[in-house]
Amino acid sequence: MPRFALKIEYDGAPFAGWQRQKSLPSVQQAVETALGRLQQPAPTIAAAGRTDSGVHALAQVAHADLTRDWEPFRLSEALNYHLKPYPIAILGVAVVPDDWHARFSARERRYLFRLLNRRAPAALAAGKVWQVAHPLDVARMQVGAEFLLGRHDFTTFRASECQADSPVRTLDQLDIQTIDTPLGPEIHFHVRARSFLHNQVRSFVGTLERVGAGAWEPEDVRTALEARDRAACGPVCPPQGLYLAGVGYPEDPFG
């Protein structure tokens, strides 16, 4: 059976996360149901990462084995038709080798976190950003972020229910920038690593917000990291500003 890679965009608000669940809606279930309209039994898909409830994706990647040798464009069009009215879009489809795996073949994951820094309510961006009304010092936040780069034991910055075998990860990028948008100033966090722990990015952002607000010193981030204690973490920020922005492979299957 031919294997197809799928590049998927979605609004995570209506879903209880990516992963299929018995009694709650999930992105995986919606895509598999759409695939089930094209063949039976519906194939099971595997994704590069399992986003949590309320987390969005600009370019999630999954793969599926199908019985029919679809032309990629026609498959994307068929899936988008059957995904209506869900806020999910298939951005691209590619034929990949039988041993290619959306999760295990990936070499990096990239996340974007959007923080809207204004006092007025977020009428248009509601559900898409984390809104913080008080001023934030981005330069202080970036200094604090530098302590997190590299290979560390990130016990402080992972959820207590995290199922990863080890808390050790290598963080390759954590850049913070202010973006002027029509909706107001946004602070964007660009985070990149081969893999992440459960709630790691949201733990970073929530902690760095405290630095930007002046409640923490930048050096307190290093102290928290070295504590290797979940209790030393700052507040975990809400999920709605988080986006899976992309997945990197040795060769881009989508060209």
List strand residue ranges (DSSP E) for the chain, in order: 3-10, 46-47, 56-65, 88-96, 108-116, 130-131, 150-153, 168-181, 184-193, 242-248
In whole angstroms, what is the distance from residue 116 CA to residue 185 CA? Answer: 6
Residue 144's CB is within 10 A of a number of other CB atoms, namely 25
Residue 106 and residue 248 in contact, taking contact as beta carbons nearer than 8 Å = yes
Catalytically active residues, by annotation:
52
Q: Is the dihedral of CA 8, 11, 14, 15 positive or negative?
A: positive
In whole angstroms, what is the distance from residue 255 CA to residue 73 CA? Answer: 14
Hey, is 220 helix, strand or coil? helix
In whole angstroms, what is the distance from residue 43 CA to residue 227 CA? Answer: 44
What tokens does 239 get?
């999920």
Strand partners, 112: 190, 243
Peptide bond into 41 cis (omega under 30): yes
